[in-house]
Amino acid sequence: MNEKRQLSEAEKQKILAQHGRECFVDGEPIPNDEPIEFHHIKPFSSGGPTNLNNIAPVCKRHHRTIGTMSLQEYRDKIELSKFFESEEPKYLDDLIRYKNKHCGERLNYEIKEGHISLYYKDSKHDFPLYTCPTTNWKYFYGTLPVKFIGNDRELQPRPLREPNLWKLYRHFQINTQISPSICRIDDNGNLLLFDGQHKAASQIWAGRSMVECKVYINPDKRTLKETNLDAHGTYRQMSFYSHELMQKYADIFGEDWTEYMDTKGEKSELGFYNFLFHSKQKTWAQAKNEIALALYKEIVDDKLNKLSKYLSEKHRGRKQPLTFARLKKTFFQYMLVPPPVNDEFESNTYFRKDERRNLVKLMTIIAEEGLEAKWAPERADAAHKKAERIFSAGAIRAWVILLRDTINAHLRNYTDEQRAHFFYRFIPDEEFIYFRQFTKKIFEHKIWDDPDPSGEIAARLAKDDATTAKSLFDEKELNVQWVLGV
């Protein structure tokens, strides 16, 4: 606790009388044989004398892991991790409903000369109206009740991200919000927020019932969409899995890893994951991400991995068939066990040694059979066109799954557990001779050379989802039986 002075016994009793003998973090009673510790509820930023109203009891266990957070922040962090726990993406609407119950209610308004009247809380609220000299769009600024706000799915289709939200939440605990979130209101009174959603969400998460907004009155959606895309152009291009970002993550991982290795006891990925949450104040999602990215980076940076040569992030200057984001959606998603796993490490430099080695070997086979001496955008000949088809977005997804299923059938992995862990154990070199044959056979299928005058095949293979290319595979009988030749 950021104490300016020690609490006296009388003061402690006063706080206990107010809160009871229970931990402020989870409301659990603190056992009589355990010490009661005290911590500030709101961030202690004013530097003034300790205000007793801002102090609450906390159990020893929570106090040890609270770090520099206030009790309120710690409680909100735990709750936020819970909110993001499921794999389902979470949108602004979900958060508003979670915190505020009501979301997206219609707002009655009237436009008069030079101002707009909004009707809420049983009264009329007037705001001056401005006109954009370029587009002639009308807009106003206002701090508006949360219940009228909804997520603008058309202009802002992205879900919320836990790390962004948490960072901003902490930021706004001690800083003011400089610029408002941007919304539009349509003829029916739907107030839709399309820019600055994390800003708004973090304020709502902190308990605010009003949100600062700049609101456009019924603007042309198409123009607004383009404007919004332009404004985010640089941000959007910076793929989350860009190489630079991966490097940054790897550095953080390295520091955290060293620190974790210095702690006592058995070491495992699960242990590291818990360490990141409890001792490094990361969210579960951040912890998982940190481990996953370290694993991906090891695989991509492995000198033996020939497929890495074909990543646009690593080799700019000419068109490449693959990106990190694509690898993540295919090889990493379908061929690696999602972190954290609970096995003890064999040594402190290697984790998932076999799994990494297996995937690197397979990726190299894929580079050799599908791209080497074939991928040549400058020639754009038949071999290159075939490679392009093989490495189109939906096609990769479909054949990575097909290759995985074929390997599983070949290895006689029958249980779900065996299938999910198929690359997680040592696989002898001889087996990779088979894996190469399967790869070759998949790449030899006529689907990659079939004439495509209408462009239908190309379109279906390019569709970046899990089903479109698969259904084409099914029609053309490109399946496990065919690859195995049974």
90 is a contact residue toward Zn ion (CB under 5 A):
no
What distance in Å separates the CA atoms of residue 127 and residue 139, rounded to the nearest whole number?
10
Nearer to Zn ion, 24 or 284 (CB): 24
What stretches of 59-209 adopt beta strand conformation (E)?
108-112, 115-120, 123-128, 130-131, 138-145, 149-151, 181-185, 191-195
Q: Residue 145, Cβ neighbours under 10 Å: how many?
A: 19
Residue range at the interface with Zn ion (CB under 5 A); choices 1-9, 25-33, 84-92, 344-352: 25-33
62 is a contact residue toward Zn ion (CB under 5 A):
yes
66 is a contact residue toward Zn ion (CB under 5 A):
no
What token pair was written down for 466?
């899990």
Nearer to Zn ion, 40 or 62 (CB): 62
25 is a contact residue toward Zn ion (CB under 5 A):
yes
CB of 21 to Zn ion, least distance (A): 12
CB 50 within 8 A of CB 7: yes
Residue nearest to Zn ion (CB): 23
CB of 23 to Zn ion, least distance (A): 3
CB of 63 to Zn ion, least distance (A): 8
23 is a contact residue toward Zn ion (CB under 5 A):
yes
Which single residue is written with the structure tokens 């049974």? 486
Nearer to Zn ion, 21 or 425 (CB): 21
Residue from 15, 36, 41, 59 in contact with Zn ion (CB under 5 A)? 59
What sign for the dihedral angle of Cα 481, 483, 484, 486? positive
Q: For residue 466, what are the contacts with CB-CB under 8 A and spacing of at least 6?
A: 397, 398
Which single residue is written with the structure tokens 């029916």? 188
CB of 344 to Zn ion, least distance (A): 29
Nearer to Zn ion, 64 or 153 (CB): 64
Residue range at the interface with Zn ion (CB under 5 A); choices 46-54, 58-66, 146-154, 267-275: 58-66
What token pair was written down for 257?
């890893």
395 is a contact residue toward Zn ion (CB under 5 A):
no
CA triple 139-143-145, angle to 5 deg: 110
Assign 460 to helix, strand or coil. helix
36 is a contact residue toward Zn ion (CB under 5 A):
no
Nearer to Zn ion, 41 or 402 (CB): 41
Count interface residues toward Zn ion (CB under 5 A): 4
224 is a contact residue toward Zn ion (CB under 5 A):
no
149-151 vs 191-195, strand pairing mode: parallel
Strand partners, 180: none
Residue range at the interface with Zn ion (CB under 5 A); choices 2-10, 52-60, 198-206, 418-426: 52-60
Nearer to Zn ion, 71 or 213 (CB): 71
Assign 38 to helix, strand or coil. strand
What distance in Å separates the CA atoms of residue 449 and residue 443, rounded to the nearest whole number?
10
Binding site for Zn ion (CB under 5 A): 23, 25, 59, 62
